[in-house]
Every structure is written in structure tokens, then in C-alpha cells.
Amino acid sequence: MTFAATVLTLYPEMFPGPLGASIAGRALREGRWACRTVQIRDFATDKHRSVDDTPAGGGAGMVLRPDVVAAALDSVAEPHPVIALTPRGRPLDQERVRELAAGGGVTLLCGRFEGFDQRLFEARAVEEVSIGDYILSGGEMGALVLLDACIRLLPGVMGAPSSGVEESFESGLLEYPHYTRPVTWEGRTIPEVLRSGDHARIAAWRHAQAETDTRLRRPDLWERHVGARVGSPSGARREKD
């Protein structure tokens, strides 16, 4: 099955862009995913082909018109989830990426200027997704990030099927640190346990490192990981959030 990516944008030339190279590029050529763009400006109705207007209530910048963006969206016949990239959206995580990759595709709305008219999201059942707590100049880079994360999970895309499973976040923890040759580099030596050949000890060390690093670097993830353990009071509290 081909994963169908449809991207609504004012800059269709940005796609597939970097997704035409490396793993995603090969998957594209193999037909594991397809990338179709829709130029939002083609759905403008006035003689200036305008897609934006001044913000209601005043203030700087311009806002994408809901009628124009909705017309572009309505032209897409795909049955897949519609996601708008916006810093106000739910932060993208590996769980949502996994769900999307398991579906048949996704339709992505890329904002520009100050963003979208909020009524669009209510009128068209659009999910709002953010790729992080910083502001991009447009949704296109966010769409590329989301697609890259999905594409590598599609069947047949990654070389070794196991490499996707141990990755950071898949288990709710950051991944353990990696090392490779040379054994000693600039006076620093690879941890002895990794050179021991003792697979049980290596697995235990990696698990302990993953836990320690997650606790120190990402207390937010650690809290959720601990809370998710069966029977813990903080797990019960999280369920209700």
C-alpha cells in the first residue's frame, strides 16, 4: 500500500525537497509513499489571487482566509486525517506518528504569515499539530518533519526492522548512548561493558543508561514513564488528565 501524503501549501516547490534524498527518497521511488501538493493560491477568487487578509481586531501581519483554504481542502478527495501545522497544536510525538504511519496517508495544511483563521479548524475537523515550542516561518518544514517521521516507519523502508523499535521514545525512554571504533579516541575509551561480549550485561547496562539519561535530561518523559507503570498512583492520575 502506498502512503498518500497530500500537502496544501503556498510553496509546492518545497516538496518532496529533502524527502527526495536518502531513505525517504528511495521509498518514494519505490512507491512506498507518494507526495502530492496542492497550491492554495489556485483557490483564490479575487483578481489579485489573494489568500490572506488583515487580522480581525488589529495587529501585525496577515491571516490566511478560511474560504480560500477550505476550497483548497475541499478539492482533496483523500479519506485521510487532515492536520494543520501550527504552534498552537498538540505537540507531535512518536505515538501519533506511529498511528499516522499505520493509516493510509495524511493531508497536511501548511500555514504562512500569522497562520490560519481559527474557524477553519472547527468547520472542517482539522487536527492542529505542533512540531515544538518555537516558531517557524511556515508550516512546510513542519510537514517535512512529520512526513519523515512517518515514512521511516512504513513497511520495507528501514533496513533492519528491529532498529525502529529500540529507538528513543518507542519505549517511553530516551535511547542509550552509542559508541563505535576507534576503541580509544582522544584519550576516551568505549565503556568496558560494551566490549565484554556479555549480552545480558550489555542489555542491563543499556537499560540502566536509558533510565538515568531520561531521568536527568527529560524529567517530563521520566515522570510519564514512571506514572505509566501499573498500579502507581501517578499513573491513575495521568489517566484522567
Binder to ligand SAH among 135, 160, 165, 230 (CB under 6 A)? Answer: 135
User: Please, what is the angle between helix 94-102 and helix 140-151, to 10°?
Assistant: 70
Determine if residue 179 is labeled as part of a ligand binding site.
Answer: no
- Residue 6 vs residues 15, 54, 127, 149, 224: alpha-carbon distances, Å: 10, 28, 15, 15, 33
Give the span between the Cα atoms of 41 and 53, in whole angstroms.
Answer: 13
Instruction: Please choose, out of 46-54, 69-77, 96-104, 112-120, the segment that lies near ligand SAH by the rule CB under 6 A.
Output: 112-120
Residues forming beta bridges with residue 82, ordered by sequence position: 107
Shortest gap between Cβ of 219 and ligand SAH (angstroms)?
22
Q: Indicate whether 10 belongs to the interface with ligand SAH (CB under 6 A).
A: no
Shortest gap between Cβ of 160 and ligand SAH (angstroms)?
31
Question: What does DSSP assign to residue 111?
Answer: -
Q: Indicate whether 13 belongs to the interface with ligand SAH (CB under 6 A).
A: no
Residue closer to ligand SAH, measured from CB, 20 or 91: 91
- Residue 222 vs residues 73, 88, 130, 164, 218: alpha-carbon distances, Å: 39, 24, 21, 21, 6
Q: Which residues are annotated as a binding site for S-adenosyl-L-methionine?
A: 111, 131-136
Contact residues: ligand SAH, CB under 6 A: 85-88, 110-112, 114-115, 130-132, 134-136, 138-139, 142
